Amino acid sequence: MSEIFEDGISRRSVIKGSIAGAGALAVGGAIGGATEANAATRALTVSLGSNQSDPAAVKNDNAWLAAAKAAGFNIKLNRVDHNTFQNQINQYLQGTPDNVFNWFAGYRMQFFASKGLTTSINDVWAKIGSQFTAGYKNASKGLDGKYYFVPTGWYPWAVLYRKSVFAAAGVDASKIITWADFIAACKVFQAKGITPIAFGDKGGWEAMGTFDFINFRTNGFKFHMDLTAGRVKWTDPRVQKTFNNWKSIFPYQSKNALDMNWDDATALLINKKAAMQVMGAFAAGNFKDPADLADLALFPFPQIDPAYGREAVEAPIDGYLLSKSAAKNASASKALAAFIGSTAYASAIAKVSPTALWANSNMPKPTDPFARQQVELVQSCKYIAQFFDRDSRPDFASPIFSNALQKFIAGGDSVAIAKDLQAQWDALPPA
Amino acid sequence: MVTGKKSKTGERIAIAILGFFSLAWVFPIFFTVYESFRPYNDTTKDGYVSLPKHFNFDNYWNALIQSGMWRYFINSVEVAVPAVLITLFLASMVAFVVSRYSFKFNIALLMIFTAGNLLPPQLIFIPIFRLYLHIWVPTIINENNVLYDTQLGLILIHVAIQIGFATFVLSNYLRTIPKEISESALVDGASVWAHYFRVILPLLRPALASLGVLMTTWIYNDFFWAVVLLKSGSKRPITAALSNLQGEFFTDFNLLAAGAVLALLPTLIVFFVLRRQFVAGLTIGSTKG
């Protein structure tokens, strides 16, 4: 995954000539020979399953759907709210799924690919491949080495903070590099009566971000990936090192974490009642006041073991998959996949969401300072994780692991929790 | 005197306990209604427990018109009305037969109908999901030609689930009606159909009304089957569509509160307008069985 951003943007000018992109080519190919207009429409009729239910995401969806319509696609949209879509995904894919649907990179994609519930798209990648770096290519392949996924955008996780709050407390975020620096900063805020780390885990998934960071900072990226994929046991003593490191910042986290969702915790940041939050950059969407948003910044999660430094980051990649039903509507579905991989897709969304971050290397670099910080953060990292629930088995991440973390946060014994986690992993049906 | 005093303090304690519990029950609803009138920005700044700065119908407008919730009300009606009518029609027929004719499997039949009710839906939804994927329907109903992801499928499952209880209640109710009425109908030469349509159905009317009210609210409130048997967001009834107001990262809880109040409204209206039938529906046929 290391190469995602290495050559990214510099190649933009070279390929600029082909900016209309593979999408247009693919569209041409699909229409190929159809003389009647309605035959062409029929050929490009695709059903699309969307889990984009946030108001901002709906706006983005509408922007690219309009562009796709202009390119000749007749898209039958099926929008379902995000949580229901995620919870129903098993039935959805085994039932009568839409041809193309929103999904993520990582184990959670490979899981369904290996069950034959998705359609591989090597031929699409032959067209769009030149616009993506090696990291994205690897992230789009199933365990069988075939391409399944079209990446669109991404967002990193980091320590979010408000510049004004740090300035008022005399803390310099750029100097927080080691775990000791981090704890020292926490103590400064605590003395001032500000919650150092806003933390909510009512949803059960929020704390996975903190776990991932502490785990690969403590034990390295390889260990983390082995653990999430079940190649290392939870009873391994290194897991306890992670939990113990986490415990050392418990005094600085919100006490009522299990009563708060992530956005309740973010509200503490917005209201300057808390100093920092370990969260995805999407939290910026909750900063409705432009002045608050301009005050928002991030720094990389601090180093714990110098051997691993700050070499890894969580930056989940979003994109699209083709379901098994796409095989019956192959040419149109694959044409749409190619369109989604092209800059035509990304440019349409960039018009309404200028701060979005793109997987396609031909897209221009963002100008917004917070977006730039995100790009720089990810470019500085050697390894990119997809977030626990995308790197591990879906049926393990939730509810097993999410419940275990909530128990740990409530003060549960980490040794017993780890033992229990391993027992539950072993009891899972073979994937 | 002493006992009188004692019962008075006992009464006070009872009122205090009842008052506490009714407050505990009503509080979340009032709190939801209260938040639904406040804009998102106020509550993020001041917290949910705070005095209102702005108080308006914006959330309701947004939920109903901008988010298009009104369409899902129509979906709910399209499922609930046929489901209730079919359930009552079929259940009244079974009730008629098991209460007016005696044959060998009479009791067994009634028991089978009622026993089906005891299986929790969580236990049977996977087989039903698989079944629905194999039942063919014409393209007009579903272009994928399966019963899964159709409102028809939803109606059928509601009929199947509710019919047991409806039959049980209606047959009990029929047993409270003197058999002589039926006997005189038979003496007058009424056929089975005439007996059912012209004698039994009119007699069942109060029971059907009460049961109809009760079942409408039950089916309207269903969330589980709507999520399990439908994949298309646009076909969902209001209960399942309520989650459309939630995003992946961002949820405007004030808007969600307004949506929840809107979804609750029909049930409340039915309850307050038809309270007598509602209560009668719950106790019907319980006098004799």
pLDDT in tens, chain B (289 residues): 455 566 788 899 999 999 999 999 999 999 999 999 998 888 877 778 888 888 889 999 988 887 788 999 999 999 999 999 999 999 999 999 988 888 878 888 878 877 877 788 888 889 999 999 999 999 898 888 999 999 999 999 999 999 988 988 898 899 888 888 888 988 988 899 999 999 999 999 889 988 998 899 999 999 999 999 999 989 999 988 888 887 777 778 889 999 999 999 988 888 888 888 777 777 776 654 4
Q: How far is CA B53 from CA B4, B13, B45, B59, in A?
A: 51, 39, 11, 15
Q: Does B10 touch chain A (CB under 8 A)?
A: no
State the angle between helix axes of B275-283 and B253-273 in degrees (0 to 180), rounded to the nearest 10: 80
Q: How high is the pLDDT of residue A43?
A: 63
How far is C-alpha A314 from the chain's CA centre?
A: 8
Question: In this structure, what token pair is assigned to residue B215?
Answer: 């079942």
Nearest CA in chain B to A90: B228
Q: Identify which of A80, A91, A282 has the shortest CB distance to residue B233.
A: A80
Q: What is the DSSP letter of B146?
A: B
B22 and chain A in contact, CB less than 8 A: no
Amino acid identity, position A190:
Q
For residue B260, give how far its alpha carbon lies from the nearest alpha carbon of chain A (Å): 16
What pLDDT is recorded for position B3? 53
* Cα separation, A252 vs A396, whole angstroms: 29
Over the stretch A171-200, which tens digit does the pLDDT of each residue have?
999 999 999 999 999 999 999 999 999 999
Question: Do the beta carbons of residue A80 and residue B245 sit within 8 Å?
Answer: no
Please give the domain boundaries of chain A with CATH numbers for all domains. Answer: 9-155+316-372 (3.40.190.10), 157-314+393-426 (3.40.190.10)
On whether any CB of chain B is under 8 Å from the CB of A367, the answer is no
| B232 contacts in chain A (CB < 8 Å) | 78, 80
- CATH code assigned to B67-283: 1.10.3720.10
Q: Give A-chain residues touching B133 at CB under 8 angstroms.
A: 94-96
Q: Are A428 and A390 in contact (CB under 8 A)?
A: no
Calculate how close chain A gets to B74, using CA atoms only, in Å: 18
Give the pLDDT of residue A11: 36
Contact A385, A312 (CB under 8 A): yes
What is the value of ipTM here, to two decimals?
Answer: 0.78
Nearest neighbour of A54 by CB, restricted to B231, B234, B248: B248
The SS3 of residue A26 is: helix
List the single residue in B with minimal CA-CA distance to A80: B233
Report how far Cα A186 is from the mean position of its chain's Cα atoms: 27
Per-residue pLDDT of chain A (431 residues; tens, 9 = 90+): 333 443 333 333 333 333 333 444 444 444 333 334 444 555 699 999 999 887 778 889 999 999 999 999 999 999 998 888 988 888 899 999 999 999 998 888 988 999 999 999 999 999 999 999 887 888 899 989 999 999 999 999 999 999 999 999 999 999 999 999 999 999 999 999 999 999 999 888 999 999 999 999 999 999 999 999 899 999 999 999 999 999 999 999 999 999 998 989 999 999 999 999 999 998 998 888 899 999 999 999 999 999 999 999 999 999 999 999 999 999 999 999 999 999 999 999 999 888 889 999 899 988 889 999 999 998 888 888 999 988 998 789 888 999 999 999 999 999 999 999 999 999 998 76
Query: To the nearest whole angstrom, how far is the Cα of B30 from the nearest Cα of chain A?
Result: 20
Q: Which of A46, A14, A33 is nearest to A339 (CA)?
A: A46
Q: How many CA atoms lie within 13 A of A275 on its CB side?
A: 27
Structure letter (DSSP) for residue A298: E
Q: What backbone phi and psi angles, to 5 degrees, belong to B136? A: -80, 140
Distance (Å, whole) CA B137 – CA A392: 39
Q: Cis omega before residue A399 (within 30°)?
A: yes
Q: How many Cβ atoms are within 10 Å of A113's Cβ, its own excluded? A: 21
Residue extents of the structural domains in chain B:
2-36, 67-283
Beta-carbon contacts of residue B236 (< 8 Å; ≥ 6 apart): B72, B75, B226, B230, B244
